[in-house]
Structure formats: C-alpha cells, structure tokens
Amino acid sequence: MRRLMPTLAWMAGCKIGANVFKDDPDTFMSYQDFKHYEAKESRLDKVCFITSNKKFTKGHRDRVNFANKILKNHIDFIDVYGNGYNPVDDKLEVMSKYKYVLAIENGQCMDYWTEKLADSYLAGCYPIYYGCPNISDYFKQDSMLKVDIRDYEKTISAIKKIIDQDLFSASKEAVSVARNLVLDKYNMFNLIANEVNKIDSYSSVIEKMSLPETIYPMKYTLKDLFLCKLARLFNITL
C-alpha cells in the first residue's frame, strides 16, 4: 500500500480567527513570505508549548495531561500557550521568540504528522516531537528530539538536557534543511503536482487497457454495498 502523509495547511503566520478566505497579507503569510523570512537570532533559551485544552480523543487527553503537569510542577523552562491556557493570535509571533518548541500530535500513527511540526521548522525552532513513529522517513533525526510524553519525568529530563547543551545552536543547519523540505517538498501543492506528473508515466499502460466508455458511480450491486460497508468499518481500501 502506498504511503501518503496528510496535506494539512500551516498555521504559523496565520491570524487565528481571521477570515482566511480573504486575500489579505495581514491575515496570513504566503509561501513567498516564508521563503524570504529571516528567523530571529536572539531568542529565549526556553521551550514554547502551544496547545489547547481539548479532550475529545486519547491523544488530546495525553497532551492536556502533559501540559497540566508542567504547570503544576512550575517547570520554568517551558511556557504553555493556547486556548484554555494563554491564547495566541499568531503562532509564528510567539514561537519565533523561542529556541525550542514542543510539537505534540493528536496521536501516534504511521506517516501522520501535521502543521504542529511544520510550524516549528517555519519559525526556525528546534522541535521536541511526539507523534509519527516513522517521522525520520521525512526528516533527519538530528533536526528534532523525539520524546514520549507518556513518560513525563524522562521527557522533562531530556528537554532540560538539550537546553543545557544548547542543541538549538548545534542543529541550525539541520533545522534549515527541514524547513526547506516543509516549504518545497511537503507542501500541499507540490504533493499534488507530483501525483499529477506520475499520471504521464502510466499513460501508455492506460491506453492499452480496455476501459468502459461509461462509468456509473452510483450503480452498485448488493455485493458492492456489502463490501463498501465492510471497508468503512475496518478502514480498508478496496
């Protein structure tokens, strides 16, 4: 089965709550803006953690529990932001002030990584990441610190260690490479273009196939309906 990653839009540089359908440079930053964006050199030697207090899924609850433990234990090198904590208008404005960012996905799933990681790179931060088990298939290991937030003590200790070692400075080149991958390889339009380009390579094969002249997408047999229901139930691609 072919592996595909989610093509989710970046949130960095986007004013939360603004009309994203309006072509307004004050609402969001464009691709060109990010290509010419110069990351701040002077930053807080701390971790920025932007989350929300949503608890719909187990992944949500794990993240909220982790955030609450940080606040309860007064961890002074991690600042928590987001709805339910300290709301922000634009993630980029906050993240760009910090050397490190905690990027925690809604869960753990192969090939599932989102803007939570992409935004970290776009802001020029070194991400501390929890989520996609095979994330190293997309980004080099030296461009992030992978943690397991379910082990609170171990994660906090690992974060404190990289701050003390100034891993931010040592990883600038790796983060820059990852940032360019986000901009030029893993963006939605580039992924769509690559899929379209692949069609040409199959054109000769398609021409030799005997295809029906008319396709009836809603014409199902009882067997077809049964198989479709099973596929949806067990998340199987027919």
Assign residue 132 the CATH number of its domain: 3.40.50.11660
Q: What percent of the chain has pLDDT over 90?
A: 51
Return mean pLDDT, the chain.
Answer: 84
The answer to whether the beta carbons of residues 95 and 113 sit under 8 Å apart is no
Q: Identify the band that residue 10 occupies on the pLDDT scale cut at 50, 70 and 90.
A: confident
The answer to whether the beta carbons of residues 178 and 122 sit under 8 Å apart is no
Q: Which residue has the higher pLDDT, 193 or 122?
A: 122
What is the length of the chain? 238
Residue 2 lies in a domain: no
What residue type is 93 in one-letter code?
E
CA distance 88 to 70: 19
In the chain, count of helices (H) and strands (E)?
Answer: 9, 5
CA distance 127 to 119: 9
Token pair in block for residue 156: 């906090």
Residue 216 lies in a domain: no
pLDDT tens-place string over residues 60-88: 999 999 999 999 999 999 999 998 899 88
Burial of 176 (0-12, 13-18, 19+ CB in 10 A): middle
> Within a 10 A sphere around the Cβ of 157, how many other Cβ atoms?
11
Residue 57 lies in a domain: yes
Taking alpha carbons only, the member of 198, 144, 139, 206 closest to residue 171 is: 144
Q: Identify the band that residue 102 occupies on the pLDDT scale cut at 50, 70 and 90.
A: very high
Q: Identify the band that residue 215 occupies on the pLDDT scale cut at 50, 70 and 90.
A: very low
- List the domain range (segments joined by +) for residue 158: 31-188
Which letter, b or e, does each residue of 106-138 get, where b requires 16 or more Cβ atoms within 10 Å of its Cβ? beeeeebbbbbbbbbbbbbbbbbbbbbeebeeb
Residue 145 lies in a domain: yes
Total domains in the chain come to 1
What residue type is 159 in one-letter code?
I
Task: Give the HSE-up count for residue 99: Cα atoms under 13 Å, Cβ half-sphere.
Answer: 22
Residue 97 lies in a domain: yes
Per-residue pLDDT at 98 exceeds 80: yes
> pLDDT at position 77, please?
98
CA distance 75 to 160: 10
CA distance 86 to 53: 11
Residue 201 lies in a domain: no
Residue 143 lies in a domain: yes
> pLDDT at position 225, please?
64
> Within a 10 A sphere around the Cβ of 143, how many other Cβ atoms?
24
Task: Give the HSE-up count for residue 179: Cα atoms under 13 Å, Cβ half-sphere.
Answer: 23
β-strand pairing of 78-81 with 126-130: unpaired
pLDDT tens-place string over residues 125-164: 999 999 999 999 999 999 999 999 999 999 999 999 999 9
Residue 140 lies in a domain: yes
Token pair in block for residue 230: 């099973």
